[in-house]
Amino acid sequence: MERLDEKQAPVLAKARQHIHKRLITSLDSDPLDVQNASEVTARVQALISVVSNQVGLRLTEDEREALANGVVSEVSGMGPLQPLMDDPTITDILVNGPSSVWVDRDGRLEQSTVQFDDEGHLRRFVDRFVGSHGKHLDSSNPAVDARLPDGSRLHAIIPPLSPVGTVVSIRRFRQSHASLNDLVANGMLSEAMSETLRLAVRSRMNIVFAGGAGAGKTTLLNAVSEFIPDSERIVTIEDSAELALRHHHVISLEGRQENSEGKGKHDLRSLLKHALRMRADRIIVGEVRGEEVFDMLQAMNIGHDGSLSTIHANNPEQALKRMETLALLSETQAPRQAIRDMVDAAVGMIVHVGRDASGSRRVLSMVELLAGESDRQLNELFRWERTRQGSAAFSCLRRPWFADNVLCEGLPVTERLLDLWQGLED
C-alpha cells in the first residue's frame, strides 16, 4: 500500500471517528457480532459509502482501505496500536499519553509514529479491554492489569498516580517455538552450554533462570523443556499464561486477580498448593516475585526435583538473595538461616540471561549451586565475556560438580563435552 497523503490524514481521522460513532449507534437497531471480522468489515464498508456520498468525501482505494481497517480495529481490534501488534519484532508497546507511543524492537526503544486522537480516545481504548475482565479504571482504582485476547499483558495507570495522563504498557505475548538448537544458532548460548543444560534437566536439577525484563528467560525455559522425558507430567503456574513448553503432557494453571467487588482472587501461592495435589513430576513457575517463593522452595525440596522457574535479578548471587528476601516476607516468618538452607537445598543451577551492548540476548553466566555444611558454594561453569582483543565469546570455566552423577546415571554425554571437561582438569 502506498503512503497516504499526510494532508488527508486529519480528514481520515475525523471520518474514522464519525463512522465509528455511526457504527455503534447502528448496533441498537441492527445488532452485529463484533467478533466476526467479516461482518464488521462489511458493515463498515457500507457506512463508508453512505457517509462519502452524504458529505462528498472522495477516497482513493488505499484511503478507503485504511479508513475501513481503522474503524474495524477500533471495534474488534487494537485500535491505533494494531500495526504495532502485527509487527513480530516488537516486544513491548509503551503509551505515554495519546501522542507519544514507544516500542521496544530487538532490545532498543524507539518512538513510533502511531498516535491516539486525544486522551478520551486513549481512555476508551483502555476501558474496552479492562471492562471485558470485569474491572474498572477510575480515580479510586487508578491502576489495573488485564490480559489482551492474544495473551499479551496490559498495564494501565491514570491520574492521580500518573499526573501526565493515561499511561499504558503492553508486554507482547509471542508463542515461542524456538528449540535450544535454534537459540545456539542465534548466538544466545554455545553448544557446550546447551549440552550442559540438557544434562541438568535430564538429571532433574532445579534450575532458576534469572535476568531483567525481556532478556529471554521465558524463551530459554521453553526451549529446555524439550529435554523433560515424555513420561513425566508437568504443571505450570503463571500470573498470565506465557509459557509454551515443548512437551505434550502439560497442565497449565493461571492466577486470577480479584474482581471489582474484591472477590475471586487466586494467587500463585494458592495455585502452588493445588499443584502439589495434582501428581506433578515437575512444577514450573513462570516467574516468582512474591511470597510464593516459599511454597516453590518447599515443592522443590519434597519430591518435585527438576522444577524450573524464572526471577528478575541482575546476577546469580542477587537471584539467590532475592529468593531469600521474598521468602522471608511470607507469613510463615521462618528464620533467615532456615530460609537460606531451603534455597541452598532446592536450587541446583542459576542461568543468568541478559542483553549485550548490541541488544542481542545472551546467556551471560551459568552457575551451579552446592549446599555446604557451613556456607553455600557457587561453581560458575560458563560466562559471556570480552577478550583482550575486544571481541566477546562464551568461556567454559569449570567442570560441573554434577558431572559425576550424570556419568553414574548413564546419561549420554557428547564426546566434545567430555573432551572439554577433560581439558579443564588437565
Among 339, 247, 349, residue whose Cα is nearest residue 307 = 349
Contact 83, 114 (CB under 8 A): yes
- DSSP string spanning 272-288? HHHHTTTT-SEEEES--
CB atoms within 10 A of CB 58: 8
Q: What percent of the chain has pLDDT over 70?
A: 91
C-alpha cell at 295: 511454597
Helix 61-76, helix 37-55: angle, nearest 10: 130
Q: Which CATH number fits domain 78-174: 3.30.450.90, 3.30.360.10, 2.40.160.150, 3.30.420.40?
A: 3.30.450.90
CA–CA distance, 246 with 162 (Å, rounded to integer): 40
Q: Model confidence over 240-270: pLDDT tens digits?
A: 777 888 888 999 998 877 666 667 778 888 9
Best CA proximity match to 285, nearest among 206, 169, 348 = 206
Q: Residue 279 to residues 101, 124, 225, 270, 283: CA-CA distances in angstroms? A: 46, 45, 18, 16, 10
Q: What is the pLDDT of residue 373?
A: 67
Percent of the chain whose pLDDT exceeds 90: 47
Which residues of the chain are under the pLDDT cut of 50?
1-4
Q: Are 195 and 181 in contact (CB under 8 A)?
A: no
What is the number of other CB atoms lying within 10 angstroms of the CB of residue 40? Answer: 21
pLDDT at 2: 40
Q: Does the domain made of 180-425 have the CATH classification 3.90.25.10?
A: no
**What is the C-alpha to C-alpha distance for residues 37 and 77, in angstroms, rounded to an integer?**
9
Residue 1: predicted pLDDT: 38
The kind and range of the H/E element at 251 are: strand 250-254
Q: Is the peptide bond before 31 cis (omega within 30 degrees of 0)?
A: no
Tell me, what's the pLDDT at 152?
Answer: 86
Residue 336 near residue 304, CB atoms below 8 Å: no
Instruction: Please report the pLDDT score of residue 322 as a whole number.
Output: 95
**Nearest C-alpha neighbor of 369 from the set 304, 321, 312, 299:** 321
Reference 359, options 193, 212, 240, 232; nearest CA is 212
Beta strands in 73-203 (DSSP E): 90-96, 101-105, 108-111, 143-147, 153-157, 167-171
At residue 170, the pLDDT reads: 94
| pTM (predicted TM-score) | 0.79
